[in-house]
Structure 1
Amino acid sequence: MENALWPPGTFLGRLQSSTRERLLSVGVRRSVKEAQVVLREGAQESYVILLDDALVKVTAALVDGRHALLSIRVSGDIIGEISALNETPRTATVTACRPSVVRIVHRNEFMAFLRDHPDAALTVAGIIADRLRWANRRRIDFTSYSVRVRLARVLWEIAAAYGRRSPRGTVVDIRLTQDEMATLCGAAEITLQKALSGLRADGIVDTGYREIVVRDSAALRSIAGLDPQ
């Protein structure tokens, strides 16, 4: 597969071609169906998963029975690396958002690969650092901004990373429930619904079955308090 299919910010996209080819040679390719669980929270497993051609969502169970949407991962990303490397239970559930192809690399093979390719080990460290930075920024957003602003920031990040252009605007065709969106924004679902209704009424976004459409990117960025591109 050509590197162009893996975004530059993902794990596979950051690796040198020779290093990437070596890693893919030890992975076992698997197809998964839409809505299939790829990793399950609490499971004790000893492998990492490379997203070859995939779109998945990462969720975690809350004490009240709901599930918090933690992140979205795309082709080129690596998942399950922390629990595999530390030999600890999975900290989240990963579910396919569409039919996908993944590669399973068992812990021993992955550890041997990292020992033989120090550049890849540094890349893994960089990926983990980026995710921690993102989580810290999200916590700051929770305490500093209104739900409307937090929702605008989340929608912009998702649209910029995973949206596709269409005559209607930027379309995000990922199956996300309002409950999952609410937990990602750190808001109660009813509050999220009001904020989302406001964005719809202002003509900034549309929502439909399994999709969100950003109709006015400039207005969404303005509400989010982000600098113009």
Structure 2
Amino acid sequence: MPLDQQTDILARMSGEDREALLSLGTMQRFSKGEFVFRAGAPGKHVYFLRKGRVKICQPSHTGKEVILWFCFAGEMFGLAEVAQGGGRVVHAHVCEASEVLKLSQSQFSGFLRDHPDSLHLVMQVLSCRMRTLSEVIVNLVNDDVETRIMKLILRLSARHGVHVGQDIHLDITLTHQEIADMVGTTRQTVTGMLSKLKRRGFLSLENRRIYIESPEIHGTASGPDHWE
């Protein structure tokens, strides 16, 4: 199973466990731009995204934010502070109209106690997230910014890419600022890099969507020499 697909915990649950979970929580609806929670808020609930997209980001002392990951339908977020106690250290910022299932700490603990198979899935999701963040850290240390951008696009296309002939359509919208916040660079650098790849015929851009047009793009993530 691809690494990113392991985080879709609702799809991987048994029907019985999923129904039990959905019956416990409270469904909430959020508009684009709202926060499910902010850094500093009490960490007393776990969330499951039923529809939409939420970015998990950490604010910095400079006022910028670092996007740690995006949550998509079926995924879980907000667990770290519930397990450790204390306040939130990240924001959960809604990227598009979303529906979120909210469970209290006691509800979620009781659910896992009564459904051990789902407990095993939660452990797998946390392990997957740790590996993904470890890869991000290694990329930040070892790769130049162009390579980091390419690796991000390829990682997202593996999970959210739709094949149309030889092309791959990235089936999510991303702003240049969001890409920049995920790879530790500036919006201007991202804009220049995407334009460079577009001129070389690797991809096209339309309505904040990325279309990978050349299979050769999969070889570019090994280093910038491939783009010269």
Name the counterpart of 1:174.
Answer: 173
Taking structure 2 as the reference length, the TM-score comes to: 0.85
- Displacement of 1:197: 2.4
Secondary structure at the counterpart of residue 197 of structure 1: helix
Q: Distance in 1 between matches of 2:6 and 2:135?
A: 21
Select 2:16's aligned residue among 15, 18, 29: 18
Give the secondary structure class of the aligned counterpart of 2:96. coil
Shift of 1:49: 0.8
**Distance (whole Å) between structure 1 residues aligned to residue 148 and residue 168 of structure 2:** 21
Which amino acid is 2:125 matched to? I
User: What is the distance in 2 between the residues matched to 1:38 and 1:165?
Assistant: 33
Amino acid in structure 2 at the alignment position of 1:204: F
Where in structure 2 are there 5+ consecutive unaligned residues?
224-228
What's the secondary structure of 2:40's corresponding residue? coil
Rounded Cα–Cα distance in structure 2 between residues aligned with 1:148 and 1:8: 27
Q: What amino acid sits opposite 1:205 in the alignment? A: L
Would you say 1:224 and 2:221 are equivalent positions? yes
* Count of residues in Structure 1 that have an aligned counterpart in Structure 2: 218
Equivalent residue for 1:105?
Answer: 103
Match of 2:197 in 1: 199
Please say if residues 204 and 213 of structure 2, whose CA atoms lie closer than 8 Å, have aligned partners that are also in contact.
Answer: no
1:209-220 map, 5 Å:
209=207, 211-220=208-217
Identity of aligned pairs, percent?
Answer: 22
Write out per-residue CA displacement over residues 61-119 of structure 1, whole angstroms, 9 at most, x where no aligned residue: 11211111111111110110111222221121112222121111111111111111222
Whichever residue aligns with residue 194 of structure 1, its letter is G
Q: Does 1:115 align with 2:113?
A: yes
| Amino acid across the alignment from 1:138 | V
Distance 1:175 1:193 in 2: 12
How many Å apart are 1:198 and its aligned residue?
1.4
Does the 8 A contact of 1:55 with 1:96 survive in 2?
yes
Structure 1: gaps (5+ residues): 1-6
How far apart, CA to CA, are the structure 2 residues paired with 1:118 and 1:204?
46
Q: Residue in 2 aligned with 1:130?
A: 128
Q: Report the aligned-residue RMSD.
A: 2.3
1:97–1:174 contact (8 Å) kept in structure 2: no
TM-score by length of 1: 0.85
2:226 aligned residue:
none
Cα contact 1:33–1:99 (8 A) shared by 2: yes
The alpha-carbon deviation at position 121 of structure 1 amounts to 1.7
Q: 1:143 deviation in Å? A: 2.3
Q: What is the alpha-carbon distance in structure 1 between the residues aligned to residue 65 and residue 19 of structure 2?
A: 36
Rounded Cα–Cα distance in structure 2 between residues aligned with 1:56 and 1:140? 24
